[in-house]
Structure 1
Amino acid sequence: MKAAHLRIYTINKGYIDSWIKMFHEELVPIMENAGMKVESTWLNIEKSQFIWIRSYGESFENYDKMTTSYKGSEWWKNNVNRVKDHIAHMEVIDITST
């Protein structure tokens, strides 16, 4: 079994291109360094929502440790406000593989 989050982010108008660039070039490497895996990324047809799946290995028990590592990184500390400036709303759903 794989533990993951289905994440749906509504991105502020005019920010989708910079969000996609920052996500893939800057955020993904930081998450991977923390042990997280970005499984896939999608955009809705209107290009207002960024939908993605991030996994944490075999158990959600790994989530806290990985998140502490990710959010404790120097990059996150220096850029958290820039990340939040892009996101209008977040929905996070716990999912597991079958």
Structure 2
Amino acid sequence: MNIVELRQYTLHPGARDTLIELFEREFVTGQQSAGITVGGRFRDLDDPDRFVWLRAFPDMTHRRRALEAFYTGPGWRKHRDTANATMSDSTNVLLLRGPGFTPPPGAGEVVATICHPPDADAFDAYAARHLAPGHALHRTEHAANDYPLLPVRTGEDVRVWFGAAEAPPWPARRLRLEPVPAQRATPPPG
């Protein structure tokens, strides 16, 4: 299992495509070079000003080192002002433990469920009946955020999964997401 961040950015009206283009062009390979696994990137189908994405790390130590490398690196420093200008809030971040998630190529709408079960035993019984390995189940990672420059939500115990399943009997939020197609790197001229 990996350490996974589920990041939900609220953007200024009309800025989502600007951020997605910049993100795909500049930030995917920059993060990968720093040792970050960039997972699914999505447009929220119910909110035109929301961009949702995931990234994963082998453990918390690698997370801190990879984030330090990326956010002090030349790619982020060069484009951060443009990226930050698209966002009104980038603090809706869940720190999770799970397999990560990237939709298969050509996938249509993806449903992500964020659930607040009352206790682990009740949730485990629900999951045994309704969730399969393909749902990519994630659970809250309760380790302290050791990269405080990027806040994460704390004081919650959530479960997150992807794909259709019977609605849980507890408070849950379902996100209808459209995958952002990965851009192919353009080879250098010559």
Could you tell me the TM-score, scaled by structure 1's length?
0.91
Considering Cα pairs closer than 8 Å and 6+ residues apart, tell me whether 1 or 2 has the greater RCO.
1
Aligned residues of 2:6 and 2:93 also touching (Cα < 8 A): yes
Partner of 1:36: 36
Counterpart in 1 of 2:88?
A: 88
What are structure 2's unaligned runs of at least 5 residues?
99-136, 138-190
Q: CA RMSD in A?
A: 1.2
CA distance in 1, matches of 2:37, 2:86: 21
2:54: which partner in 1?
Answer: 53
Q: Please state how far the C-alpha of 1:92 moved relative to its aligned partner.
A: 0.9
| Residues 14-71 of structure 1, C-alpha deviations (whole Å, 9 max, x = no match) | 21111111111111011001010111011112321111111012x1221110011101
Calculate percent identity across the aligned residue pairs. Answer: 20
Greater helix fraction, Structure 1 or Structure 2? 1
Q: Which moved more, 1:21-30 or 1:74-83?
A: 74-83
**Residue pair 1:4, 1:55 contacting (<8 A) in 2 also:** yes
- TM-score, structure 2 length as denominator? 0.49
After superposing on structure 2, the runs of 4+ consecutive aligned residues of structure 1 that deviate more than 3 Å are none
| Corresponding pairs, count | 97
The structure that has the greater radius of gyration is 2
Stretches of structure 1 lacking an aligned partner (at least 5 in a row): none
